[in-house]
Structure 1
Amino acid sequence: MHIDIDRNTCIGAGQCALAAPALFTQDDDGFSALVPGHEHGTDHPMAREAARACPVGAISVSPPTP
């Protein structure tokens, strides 16, 4: 699946990193970022939970494009 973080929407609440620390971290500015190695997608089971945990809906998870 593909994970997208809308940096214009992200408020740096860190709920994604709490829900899925293997996938998400926070960058030096405090905004959500993917852990290195997951930039091109993942099948991690917590990806959708992290998207649901975002209080402003800055994370979207979609099927990979063929």
Structure 2
Amino acid sequence: MKVFVDQDKCVACGQCVAAAPEVFDQRDEDGIVILLDENPPSEQDGDVREAAGVCPALVITFQE
């Protein structure tokens, strides 16, 4: 899986970090999403899907 984020549309709610802390983080200054691992191991697939689903701004996408 390859993960993408659109930082320009991020609203800094942090749901992605709660769902997949090994894949996402937030910038200290404004809370905008940071992608820690664009190619996470397959064990993280469910967490990435959850993060994409709970993101209110829909900034997380992925390719299988």
TM-score, with length taken from structure 1: 0.79
Between the aligned partners of 1:8 and 1:26, the Cα distance in structure 2 is 13
Residues 33-48 of structure 1 mapped to structure 2, 5 A cutoff: 33-35=34-36, 38-39=37-38, 41-42=39-40, 43=42, 44=44, 45-48=46-49
Residues 54-65 of structure 1 mapped to structure 2, 5 A cutoff: 54-63=55-64
Name the SS for the 1:8 alignment partner.
helix
Aligned residue for 2:22? 22
Aligned residue for 2:50? 49
Q: Number of aligned residue pairs: give it.
A: 60
Bigger helix fraction: 2
TM-score, with length taken from structure 2: 0.81
Offset at residue 8 of structure 1 (A): 1.3
Identity percentage of aligned residues: 38
Structure 2 residue runs without a partner (length 5+):
none
Q: C-alpha root-mean-square deviation of aligned residues, in Å?
A: 1.2
Structure 1 residue runs without a partner (length 5+):
none
